[in-house]
Amino acid sequence: MEERYEQQNEIGRGGIGTVYKGIHTLLRRDVAIKELREIFSVFGDIQKDTIIDKFERCVQDHARLVHPNIIQVLDIDTDRQYPIFVMEHAPAGSLRDLLNRPEKPSLSDRLNIFLQIAQALRYAHRVGVIHGDLKPENVLFDAEGNVKVVDFGLTRIIERDSRSQQIYVGVGTVAYLSPEQFRNPKDVTFQSDIYSLGILFYEMLTGKLPGRRSPMPSSFYPNIPRKLDDIFDRMCMDAEEDRYESVDAMIEEFLASEEVTALLGRVTAGAAPMMSAPMAPPPAAAPAPAPAPAPAPAMSAPAPQAPTSSASLPAARPVSSSAAMPAVSAPAPQAPAPAPAPEEEASGDSDSDILAKLNKYAGKF
Ligand SMILES: Nc1ncnc2c1ncn2[C@@H]1O[C@H](COP(=O)(O)OP(=O)(O)OP(=O)(O)O)[C@@H](O)[C@H]1O
Ligand SMILES: [Mg+2]
């Protein structure tokens, strides 16, 4: 393993470990290496075995996720002083970096980033994997500005000891934790991720974290459609059963709003999140083009473990060079939706309808 990867500079540290930039020595490709040094330094030998066990299971879960908006896990090594896993390197910084910049991306660009995060989560949930620690630090960008979510399930490596009630490091980040996770980190569910996504959404819209009596996003910025207030509100309900039943349901409502899809259509061409130049004005509204040969970034990759048949999904298209993206404008997508599969519920959009909408609007950088 040591020979296979050349470890370079430290990128940063979190609650669980330290991330280094690295190079796969044979392939000469950049990688990121996460080393569990911090956590290992505070636990005894017996606990270390348990941690390694959990680490392996968590990384295996993460590795099952093959999606254009999720960092791909490439390798693991637990047979060394500090266990590591190797993943794709995301060179364009994190959503935290982006939110810290004085020059904020346009609302359209932020909504597109949000939609990509939601799609990553939607896919992970369909495969049965909970993130558990969604926050801007765990949303990264590749060189084309596509979202790459990292650290799925890693907070499960360390859990609260139910007898001592002591909370260890790495259980999640307080501001984004759902009430049930806050009470007991082991209670993390799909709905907990939806809650964290809601907090993240509010922060992306307003630049602030929501508090109990915070105003709704549209009262900060009147250009924010009221529908987005409702979507935030429903994601962040205290009771899990009051939140959306799935990320799918949230995305469906998001894309059902013409006001929102009109904004999504105004993505800045070639707007990578880390751009430093001022953004170009939004392209003039034009009639929605027919699905172009120019590829949309990657929303169409079939979900291999998803419950629905991938046969009904649109064919995968390669990730585009962002400059090649045609302007997309509202209203709703023109792509013909295949007939719903018999087992699908009668109400709501079918799976392929939603995928068709996603293909149309998401990932336009
Ligand atoms: N695959 C990657 N490519 C590039 N940078 C990465 C990658 N993974 C993590 N990073 C960066 O490394 C730094 C440390 O990440 P790390 O996950 O250890 O901390 P964190 O996300 O702040 O906290 P947590 O431990 O709760 O996840 C962050 O700045 C993160 O953006
Ligand atoms: Mg992280």
Ligand 1 atom, smallest distance to 94 CA: 31
CA pair distance 358, 191, nearest whole angstrom: 21
Ligand 1 atom, smallest distance to 172 CA: 26
Ligand 1 atom, smallest distance to 88 CA: 1
CATH number of 5-88: 3.30.200.20
Place of tokens 């082991």: 186
This prediction's pTM: 0.76
Please give the full DSSP string across 123-166, using - where no structure is assigned.
Answer: HHHHHT---S--SGGGEEE-TT--EEE--TTGGGGS---TTT-P
Residues of the chain falling short of pLDDT 50: 160-170, 271-272, 274-349, 361-365
Could you give the residue range(s) of every CATH 3.30.200.20 domain in the chain?
A: 5-88
Report pLDDT for 364: 37
Radius of gyration of the chain (CA): 20
CA pair distance 21, 6, nearest whole angstrom: 9
Report how far ligand 1's centroid is from the alpha carbon of 141 (Å).
12
223 C-beta neighbours (distance < 10 Å), count:
8
* CA 326 to mean position of chain CA atoms: 24
Structure tokens at 62: 């993460």
CA pair distance 354, 247, nearest whole angstrom: 11
Strands 139-141 and 84-88, how do they pair? unpaired
Report pLDDT for 292: 36
Write down the catalytic residue from 109, 133, 248, 349. 133
Does ligand 1 have an atom closer than 6 angstroms to the CB of 151? yes
Report pLDDT for 184: 80
Report how far ligand 2's centroid is from the alpha carbon of 97 (Å).
13
Report pLDDT for 298: 33
Report how far ligand 2's centroid is from the alpha carbon of 138 (Å).
5
Could you give the residue range(s) of every CATH 1.10.510.10 domain in the chain?
A: 95-264
Report pLDDT for 159: 58
Continuous segment of H or E residues that includes residue 247? helix 247-256
Does ligand 1 have an atom closer than 6 angstroms to the CB of 35? no
CA pair distance 254, 147, nearest whole angstrom: 18
Smallest CA-to-CA distance from 181 within 192, 194, 165, 167 is with 192
Structure tokens at 79: 């047979």
Report how far ligand 2's centroid is from the alpha carbon of 237 (Å).
25
Report pLDDT for 34: 95
Ligand 1 atom, smallest distance to 140 CA: 31
Protein residue with its CA nearest to atom 12 in ligand 1? 12
* CA 343 to mean position of chain CA atoms: 28
231 C-beta neighbours (distance < 10 Å), count:
23
The answer to whether the CB of 30 falls within 8 A of the CB of 23 is: yes
CATH number of 95-264: 1.10.510.10
Report pLDDT for 330: 30
The answer to whether the CB of 144 falls within 8 A of the CB of 46 is: no
Smallest CA-to-CA distance from 295 within 151, 144, 115 is with 144
> Where does residue 273 rank: exposed (0-12), middle (13-18), buried (19+ CB within 10 A)?
buried
CA pair distance 148, 89, nearest whole angstrom: 10
Report pLDDT for 334: 35
Report pLDDT for 285: 37
Active site residue 133: yes
Q: Which ligand has an atom closest to residue 15 CA?
A: 1
Does ligand 1 have an atom closer than 6 angstroms to the CB of 89? yes
Contacts for 162 with CB less than 8 Å, ≥ 6 apart: 184, 186
Q: Phi first, then psi: give them for residue 181, nearest 5 degrees.
A: -70, -35
Report pLDDT for 360: 55
- Specify which residues 29 forms β-bridges with: 24
